[in-house]
Structure 1
Amino acid sequence: MTRIVGLDVAKSKVDACIRSMDLRLSAPSTQDGEAWLRANRVGRAVMEASGGYERAWAQALRAAGFEVLVVDPKRVRHFAKAAGRLAKNDPIDAETIARFAEAFPDGGAQPHDPAREEIARLVQARTALKDVEERIKQQREHRPPAIVIEALTAIAKTLRTELRKLEASIASRIKANPAFARRAEIIDSFPGLAGQTIAGLIAWLPELGRVRNEAASALLGAAPYDDDSGQRTGTRCIKGGRRKLRDLLYMAVVGAATQHNPVLKAYYQRLRAKGKPAKVAIIACMRKLIVILNTMIARNEPWNPPAQAAT
């Protein structure tokens, strides 16, 4: 069996736990940690996504020949609570990550793909700048003093320039990668999706086209879950999933379902006619969209709806 180490990565140090040998380490540097892992014949290093601090460790350990999994911290925390482990500090977290990795060998981690991860970081940066742009827009709506308006206008102009640079960089990286370029071509054939939505799907849902439709919906966080017990039938609602991608897709789906895509528009209107609230209908359209895209990419085929659906 592969010897597993759980790593809790912080800004200035890392805590490690090899449960099978009851060994622990707290080290300030990657070099010390690598030597310790190699001396103890570790094969797989598992760490949480911790706001970017884990990237340097993951890169260094992969370069040194270790298998690395970066897992969702929410799953690890829920796992700890389910196990009744309520205390939390860095050494405990390292042991919890190791326990989680033993219980769930794949950890739900995405396959390592440096090219995709680079695009994901650029898409995340663009999303952050768009949030700043929106906040500036909201501030200007409240008629601040003239000097504040002047400052906000200058910042907004700079933001737009930097956003165009980021978007061009994202587009060039996708175009330069044949697999990404083909995926983008297929997604772009679906009416109603813009370039940055396409980039988000490439960056944040690499499983698209490789999993069942139900799994694709669940990964997005657009799958309704049962809430039944005995004779009680609860309200179905969505849970979990990749919120960043869902937020990015929401307005695109609103436009596609109300204006730009004949299939989604007809589906949305049927749901509304049945009395479904607007947001429920939009999420249902989002789920339908991801199922359609999952099928298109799996078949390597562009958008080609039935004639009756397009009229």
Structure 2
Amino acid sequence: EVLRESGIEVRIVDPKRVRSFAQSAGRLAKNDAIDAEMIAWFAEIFSEAPGQTHDAAHEKLLALAKARISLVDLKARLQSQNEHAAPRLVQKARERLLKNLVCEIAKLEAAISAQIKATPHLAERAEIIESVPGLAETTSANLVAGMPELGQVSDEIAVALIGAAPYDDDSGNRRGERHIKGGRRWVRNALYMACVGAATLNNPVLKAHYGRLIANGKKPKVAIIACMRKLIVILNTMVARRQKWDPSRYALNSASA
């Protein structure tokens, strides 16, 4: 914020990239001076990357969404612990915590909804995303918070950012298996179950795509990730065009996918 207020362009990058860059240059030691040198060198080498504009409303939404995710994860862990035998006192303590967590999660969800509705450009994105069959308010909020680049980058970058891009592992005549890696795991995890429902129940376009993949011998989880990839490409196009879901348009596209 200080840099931006001073008129200095800011670029936010994955810190693992900078650290890997330093290691590839043989700089195995790490201290503040070395870090500063490596960051400056990294910025010079990869100077074509665009800077990110400051969006206070989005940053607040992102903080709320991540806080909700952390409480939901904590709730899931407590619920799994309750499946095992424990003294009554422990069970009661967990039940009280779970009750409080449900209340706090509801408060965060209300705050997330209010933040989106109070911010026109976020509300427009949410409305576009929620027009897709199978994507409800919670999934929409996670995508609005976690994928602000939707509609502003190429389909390949959008898929990579969410961590659904399959990467090659070939050498000579060897063709290795493709695996997804990297990306924003929390966004991918938040989208996964919604995509399962959309691909198997709620969305005719994704359902047809999923059925074809299964018929061609793809494993269910592989097919779901492929459907997630297709969904992100569709959403990237919809947000870029500021258009809501048009089943005829994407049904035609899915025929050649």
TM-score (normalised: structure 1): 0.77
Amino acid at match of 1:197: T
Residue in 2 that maps onto 1:271: 213
Deviation at 1:157, TM superposition (A): 0.8
CA contact 1:209–1:294 (8 Å) conserved in 2: yes
Query: How far apart, CA to CA, are the structure 2 residues paired with 1:300 and 1:77?
Result: 38
Query: How far apart, CA to CA, are the structure 1 residues paired with 2:151 and 2:225?
Result: 20
Within the alignment, does 1:247 sit opposite 2:189 as a pair?
Answer: yes
CA contact 1:79–1:100 (8 Å) conserved in 2: yes
Residue in 2 that maps onto 1:280: 222
Amino acid at match of 2:228: M
Which runs of no fewer than 5 residues in structure 1 stay unpaired?
1-58
Residue in 2 that maps onto 1:188: 130
CA 1:155/1:91 → structure 2, altered by over 3 Å: closer, same or farther? same
Query: How far apart, CA to CA, are the structure 1 residues paired with 2:18 and 2:152?
Result: 25
Deviation at 1:299, TM superposition (A): 1.3
Within the alignment, does 1:60 sit opposite 2:2 as a pair?
Answer: yes
Residue in 2 that maps onto 1:32: none
Residue in 2 that maps onto 1:69: 11
Question: 1:208 is paired with a residue of what secondary structure?
Answer: coil
Question: 1:67 is paired with a residue of what secondary structure?
Answer: coil
CA 1:148/1:80 → structure 2, altered by over 3 Å: closer, same or farther? same
CA 1:108/1:200 → structure 2, altered by over 3 Å: closer, same or farther? farther
Deviation at 1:228, TM superposition (A): 2.1
Deviation at 1:110, TM superposition (A): 4.1
Q: 1:144 aligns with which of 81, 86, 89?
A: 86
Residue in 2 that maps onto 1:126: 68
Residue in 1 that maps onto 2:99: 157
Where relative contact order (Cα < 8 A, 6+ residues apart) is larger, the structure is 2
Moved more, 85-94 or 166-175: 85-94
Query: How far apart, CA to CA, are the structure 2 residues paired with 1:240 and 1:174?
Result: 27
Question: 1:306 is paired with a residue of what secondary structure?
Answer: helix
CA contact 2:9–2:51 (8 Å) conserved in 1: no
Amino acid at match of 1:124: K
Identity %: 59
Q: Point out the structure with the larger strand share.
A: 1
Q: Deviation digits for residues 154-206 of structure 1, max 9, x if unmatched?
A: 11111111111111111111111111111100000001112221111111111
Q: Deviation digits for residues 24-53 of structure 1, max 9, x if unmatched?
A: xxxxxxxxxxxxxxxxxxxxxxxxxxxxxx
Amino acid at match of 2:146: W
Amino acid at match of 2:184: R
TM-score (normalised: structure 2): 0.92
Within the alignment, does 1:103 sit opposite 2:42 as a pair?
Answer: no
CA 1:132/1:91 → structure 2, altered by over 3 Å: closer, same or farther? same
Query: How far apart, CA to CA, are the structure 1 residues paired with 2:169 and 2:250?
Result: 36
Query: How far apart, CA to CA, are the structure 2 residues paired with 1:153 and 1:187?
Result: 35
Higher-Rg structure is 1
Amino acid at match of 2:87: P
CA contact 1:223–1:239 (8 Å) conserved in 2: yes
Query: How far apart, CA to CA, are the structure 2 residues paired with 1:145 and 1:299?
Result: 57
Q: Point out the structure with the larger helix share.
A: 2
CA contact 1:100–1:107 (8 Å) conserved in 2: no
Question: 1:71 is paired with a residue of what secondary structure?
Answer: coil
Residue in 1 that maps onto 2:59: 117
Query: CA RMSD, aligned part only?
Result: 1.9
Which ranges of 4 or more aligned residues in structure 1 deviate by more than 6 Å? none
Q: Count residues with an aligned counterpart.
A: 252
Query: How far apart, CA to CA, are the structure 2 residues paired with 1:119 and 1:101?
Result: 28
